[in-house]
Amino acid sequence: MKRIALPISLIAGLVALGQTQYDLLIRGGRLIDGTGNPWVRSDLAIQGDRIAAIGDLSQATAARVIDATGLIVAPGFIDPHTHSRRAIFQVPTADTVVFDGVTTSIEGNDGSSPWPVGQHLREIASTRITTNWGIFLGQGTVREQVMGRVHRDPTPEEMEKMKGLVAQGMEEGALGLSTGLIYVPGTFTRTEEIIELAKVAARYGGIYITHMRDEADGLLDSVKETIRIGEEGGLPVQITHHKAVGTKNWGRSKESLALIEAARARGADVTIDQYPYTASQTGIAVLLPPWAQEGTSEEVAKRLNDPATRPKIKEGIVQNILHNRGGGDPKNVFIGSCSWDPSLNGKSLAEISQMRGLSPTAAHAAEVTMEIVLKGGAQAIFHAMAEEDVERILQHHLTAVGSDGGVVKFGDGVPHPRHYGTFSRVLGRYVRERQLLPLEEAIRKMTSATAQRLSIRHRGLLREGFFADVVVFDASSVRDRAEFGNPHQYSEGFQYVLVNGLLVIDQGHHTGARSGRVIHGPGFREDAPAGLGRIEPR
């Protein structure tokens, strides 16, 4: 039988008469609605997949009643920056993130996304996952589809093909265009090329989100480039996982934030997201100079094995260890996941050098890095940021919270703890312990700030008629448990989590419910035709 949705006004009238029975009623909690406004004590009722009523519902009944006395009731958290597209098919229940209060995950960051977008979103829908799911279109993916991993400008014909693929991706549901300008092939892309692609995303109401070209010595120039892309491309921009990398750049977030504020003052629509840690994670090949990463893995290996080229690559790695991602010392770079030698997981480049009978110098660590790349690469964790910058950026009113992590398989490798604890860490460490920002402001940064930024409708706020993505947690005990070196620990404190009206966490236990839905971008067309220059996956 088809359920008839009652108008909110009619439901409210029935509540007044004490005649309404809901599917779920959350009573007596401190409700934080996601706007940043102070909490209010209120009841919240859910019917089907929507929030049906908010207020004094003492006369209402429900099939299930949750007593939220002493607890916080808030919108489910929206993570604008995840890397879960492989693990989500292995762990569709998304345990690592829902135990952290996340109800919506956004993929396709750092210039890399599944292709075609529409095919990927259909696979997500058919898999049935626990969280809602949206995606950006990666500029690096588009470029690689048309040009490969080459270091040159596109021909006019190639440029038109890339524009066509951006149009196709937006029509198939992408939220916007992402770049990873420190990664191949994004690093080979001129600003003007990105602007032309951004103009296409802008026509569909999309956003431009970027891992900037340089977060170390070139931090301020990279911020300026990002702002220029937004202004000339005609679309909103977001600097993702904003940070200042390398010891000599610590404290420069003052300058970067000032640049962003000045840009907004003149009308540039630019915002930020951030994860609350002083270490990053990515492939260890990021330590190689960009020119050394051009082309196929065989071409990279040829350069590494060439007696004339290898010393130049080594020199570049040493510079990155001393002045960039390495934080000045090989002991700051740890292997998170190495498929060809799991015994390296959790060990630093300094430790691995010593295991090879070498002193733990940057030069020896560079040799170890080249060995790891030649044998198949690895994910690495880089401790190269200052807590001072993390706190300053987190407190800024333009900053949303994002993990740069996401779903991982429990017990697999030694990944960054952000996969498990980003949002609970903000609530426990930075709100409760450090008192850097009010709880209501932290919730805004995790919910409506991202929903508004990405044009995600009817989520991110507790409002009648909005989708019932809801978290219920204990503000006095919520905390992250994941640690560097011991990351596989779920967060604590989230007693109930609902996605589209269904309990996925019930009294602290995962129910196995997989009620997530695909979230399409503003340019989505059900009948999206094959775009200009459509290319199937390689």
Specify the DSSP element, H or E, that contains 233. Answer: helix 219-233
Per DSSP, the residues of 135-176 read EPEEHHHHHHHHH-S-SSPPPHHHHHHHHHHHHHHHHTT--E
- Asked if residue 464 belongs to a domain, the reply is no
- Asked if residue 23 belongs to a domain, the reply is no
Across 26-48, average pLDDT: 98
Q: Residues near 506 by Cβ (< 8 Å), separated by ≥ 6?
A: 496
Q: Give the pLDDT confidence score for residue 502 in this predicted structure.
A: 98
Here the CATH number for the domain that contains residue 443 is: 3.20.20.140
For β-strands 270-274 and 399-401, DSSP reports them as parallel
Across 138-167, average pLDDT: 97
pLDDT in tens, 179-218: 999 999 999 999 999 999 999 999 999 999 999 999 999 9
CA angle 145, 149, 155 (to 5 degrees): 70
Query: Are 274 and 313 part of one and the same domain?
Result: no
Q: Give the pLDDT confidence score for residue 529 in this predicted structure.
A: 64
Q: Which of 323, 349, 383 is the last residue of a domain?
A: 383
Q: Give the pLDDT confidence score for residue 530 in this predicted structure.
A: 52
Q: Which residue has the higher pLDDT, 54 or 2?
A: 54
- What single-letter DSSP state applies at residue 4? P
- Asked if residue 56 belongs to a domain, the reply is no
Domain count for the chain, please give it. 2
Query: Are 143 and 290 part of one and the same domain?
Result: no
Query: Are 271 and 289 part of one and the same domain?
Result: no
- Asked if residue 269 belongs to a domain, the reply is yes
Q: Which of 321, 356, 383 is the last residue of a domain?
A: 383
Query: Are 376 and 397 part of one and the same domain?
Result: no
Query: Are 272 and 304 part of one and the same domain?
Result: no
Place of tokens 């808030």: 74
Query: Are 389 and 449 part of one and the same domain?
Result: yes
Domain holding 82, by residue range, is 77-279+384-456
Give φ, ψ of 141 to 5 degrees.
Answer: -65, -45
Query: Are 211 and 135 part of one and the same domain?
Result: yes
pLDDT in tens, 506-527: 999 999 999 999 999 999 998 8
pLDDT at 382 over 70: yes
Query: Are 391 and 361 part of one and the same domain?
Result: no
- What single-letter DSSP state applies at residue 457? T
Integer CA distances (angstroms), 128 to 3, 131, 238, 516, in order: 22, 9, 29, 7
Query: Are 166 and 252 part of one and the same domain?
Result: yes
Give φ, ψ of 156 to 5 degrees.
Answer: -55, -40
Q: Give the pLDDT confidence score for residue 20 in this predicted structure.
A: 75
- Asked if residue 275 belongs to a domain, the reply is yes
> 222, 214 in Cβ contact below 8 A?
yes
Integer CA distances (angstroms), 463 to 50, 79, 425, in order: 9, 20, 26
d(CA 73, CA 474): 9
Q: Which of 430, 456, 482 is the last residue of a domain?
A: 456
- Asked if residue 33 belongs to a domain, the reply is no
Place of tokens 């996982």: 241
Least confident stretch, 56-60, 177-181, 530-534: 530-534
Q: Is the pTM higher than 0.75?
A: yes
d(CA 35, CA 38): 9
Q: 108 is written with which tokens?
A: 């396709």
- Asked if residue 507 belongs to a domain, the reply is no
Neighbours of 279 (CB within 10 A): 21
pLDDT in tens, 84-109: 999 999 999 999 999 999 999 999 99
Query: Are 195 and 122 part of one and the same domain?
Result: yes
- Asked if residue 133 belongs to a domain, the reply is yes
Taken as a whole, the chain contains a residue count of 538
Query: Are 342 and 235 part of one and the same domain?
Result: no
pLDDT in tens, 165-181: 999 999 999 999 999 99
Q: Mean pLDDT over all residues of the chain? A: 94
Query: Are 257 and 150 part of one and the same domain?
Result: yes
